[in-house]
Amino acid sequence: MDYTDLIALAKSTTHVGALDCANAVGEATNASCGDFCKVWLKIVGGKIEVMQYEATGCVISRAAAAVLAGSVIGPIGLIGPMSGNHIRELLSVPISPLRERCLTTALVALQNALKSYEA
């Protein structure tokens, strides 16, 4: 993937929008960049069946949300330990450590959704 692909991913509308049947919702904000992400999940039997999201902000934060939504279908136990490196691998584009919070805004929103589900 190169930066052009990253931009295309950020503009993707797949998985974008609220999920009516969601049973877990989480949000995260990256104040330094103004990024915002809201995540809706449908969880059945300890597994994420669907992730939808809405994201505003920079290309990296929106691309990270898109790639995450397309890859997290599966056991919820895998989500907690995920870090920015996981998103880096998914995007496979060199991303500066200075953009770490952009990279992880969607992941934090996802992890917050799971926290609210498990609470």
Partner 1 sequence: MNDIRSQFPALNADVAYLDNASTTQICSASIEAMAAYLRSGRSNIGRGLYPLAEVSMVAYENSRKTVAEFIEADLRTTIFTKSVTEGLNAIAFGVQSILNPGDEILVSPFEHHANLLPWRRIARERGAILRTMPMSSDFMLDIEGTISMMNHRTKIIATTLVSNVLGTVVPVKALVDAAQRTLPLNKGESEGVDKLSFPFVIVDAAQAAPHIPISMKELGADAIVFGSHKCYGPSGIAAMALSNRLASIMEPMIVGGGMVDSISIDRETWREIPARFEGGSPNVEGAIGFAEAVKMCGGTESEGVASLRQSLVTSLRTIPGVTVFDPADAIAIVSFIVEGVHPHDVADLLGQRGICVRAGNHCAQPLIERIALEGGTIRVSLAAYSTEEEIQKFLSALLEVLELLK
Applying CB under 8 A, the residues found at the interface with partner 1 are: 3-4, 7, 32-34, 56-60, 96, 99, 102
**Of 65 and 114, which CB lies nearer to partner 1 in the complex structure?**
65
**Of 27 and 117, which CB lies nearer to partner 1 in the complex structure?**
27
Shortest Å, Cβ 33 to partner 1: 5
Beta bridge partners of 62: none
Shortest Å, Cβ 46 to partner 1: 36
**Of 48 and 61, which CB lies nearer to partner 1 in the complex structure?**
61
Q: Are 105 and 30 in contact (CB under 8 A)?
A: yes
Shortest Å, Cβ 42 to partner 1: 30
- Separation of alpha carbons 117 and 119, rounded Å: 6
